[in-house]
Structures are given as structure tokens and as C-alpha cells.
Amino acid sequence: MPSKHLVVLTGAGVSAESGIRTFRDTNGLWEDHRVEDVASPEGFARNPKLVLDFYNQRRAQARTVQPNAGHLALAGFEEAAGWRVSIITQNVDDLHERAGSGHVLHLHGMLNQMRSVKDEQAVFDCPGDIHVGDLAADGGQLRPHIVWFGEMVPAIEEATEIAATADALLVVGTSLQVYPAAGLLHYAPSGCPIYVIDPHQPEVSGRRGVRYVVEPASTGVAKVLAELGQPG
């Protein structure tokens, strides 16, 4: 009998518990910068050095933090309970992978990757810093492989296909305010139980059977997984 499929949509709240700050918790400022200045194509065009330095710092910081109990619980669930687990994350760190999760789709790119400004398909590993003048083989300036505000989300089609096969859907640490990611809930099959794990209890409209777990990921995820893992 095929294993059940758990689909997990994670957002900044999961990484925040590991020490990675989010702009939505600081009145639109991300590490004391306006989001428009460091997370938009226009900001990069105006001041590429500022943007590259900003992500160099974020990349270095991400290397200093560790997966938390929420990441680890998700990584261990597949083996422990026999479910197939797919994680769709809005986060650009690699904490899910470092925790041991094997099926992770990054909607908004990854800090440890970079790409050419001439070709968004030309993606490379980024182990260190990127500087103005660092070029890809095609001659294009290298930039972080991050989906900035105003840019398309190439992975969203694959994400909708994953969500459509869910037997249960967990929404963890996301405000459900950033689209198109927030719309993924509506691709889950009718009758699929949805668990929203977040201390701020973001509102879900247009879906029945939503259960709110008003806790941080580090404790709420384990509670829901324990319930899902029960026989029957």
C-alpha cells in the first residue's frame, strides 16, 4: 500500500527560531535595510554592491546557526512514521537539508546558490561571497539565486503539483501573506486536513477543516506529527 503523503509549507518563523531574522518582524526593515533596497531588481540595479554585501552577510550568518527542533522533527518523521514527506519552503537557508530532509523545494531560491543576471537557469553553488565584477561564464554579473519582490517564482508550478497530492498539509511559521506561496493551501485536495502551526495564528479563508496550533514550530510540529503518526 502506498505511503501517505505529508506536504509541509514552511516560512520564516521556522528559521527565526534558529536565529535568522525576518523582515516582517521588524516593520518592513530587514537587518536595518529597506526591503525594496535589498530584495528587488530595482534595488540591485541602483546599488549592486549594497545588495551583494547584504546577501554575503546573510550567507555568512546562515552558516553559524543550526536546525531547530521543528526542522529535526520534520526530517525524522518520514522514517519514523512511514509517511512520504515533501517540504515546500519560502526560506532561503538550507536548515531543512541540514536537518536531514531529503525532499525540499525552495520557492524563493537559496542563499548558497548564485546565478548569472543574463540567464536565470545558469545557477551555481555559492560557497563564499559575491562581489561586483564576479562574472558567470556567459559574461553576466553573478547575483544571489534569490527570488526578489517583483520577480517570477519559477518553482510555483511544481509546488502546486506537490500540494495537490497531499494526504495532510502542515503550514508552519508563515504569515500566509506572501503570494503565490500563500495560495498553495487551495491546491490541497478537498477533505485534506490542514494544520497551521504558528504562535500568531494567521487566518486561512476559503478552506474547511483547518486546525490551528498556536505554538512555535519547535514545539507545535512535534505535537502534530505525533498525532498524524498514530495508527488508524
Q: Which CATH number do you get for residue 116?
A: 3.30.1600.10
Q: How many domains does the chain have?
A: 2
Q: Are 169 and 192 in contact (CB under 8 A)?
A: yes
State the CATH number of the domain containing residue 230: 3.40.50.1220
> Measured in Å, how far apart are the chain's first and last C-alpha atoms?
14
Query: At 230, is the pLDDT very low, low, confident or very high (cuts 50, 70, 90)?
Result: low
Q: Are residues 91 and 185 in the same domain?
A: yes
Amino acid at 201: Q
pLDDT digits (tens, 9 = 90+) for 64-119: 999 999 999 999 987 777 789 999 999 999 999 999 999 999 999 999 999 999 99
Q: Round to whole Å and give the CA distance between 207 and 9.
A: 16
Q: Are residues 142 and 78 in the same domain?
A: no
Q: Round to whole Å and give the CA distance between 198 and 174.
A: 7
Q: Are residues 100 and 214 in the same domain?
A: yes
Q: Are residues 86 and 188 in the same domain?
A: yes
Domain of residue 56 covers: 22-64+112-146
What pLDDT score was predicted for residue 24?
58
pLDDT > 70: percent of the chain: 92
Q: Are residues 160 and 122 in the same domain?
A: no
Could you give the C-alpha distances from 223 to 70, 96, 123, 227, 230, in angstroms and in order? Answer: 10, 18, 38, 6, 11
pLDDT digits (tens, 9 = 90+) for 165-217: 999 999 998 877 777 777 888 899 988 999 999 888 777 776 777 899 999 99
Which pTM value belongs to this model? 0.92
Q: Are residues 92 and 183 in the same domain?
A: yes
Q: Just list the catalytic residues.
A: 108
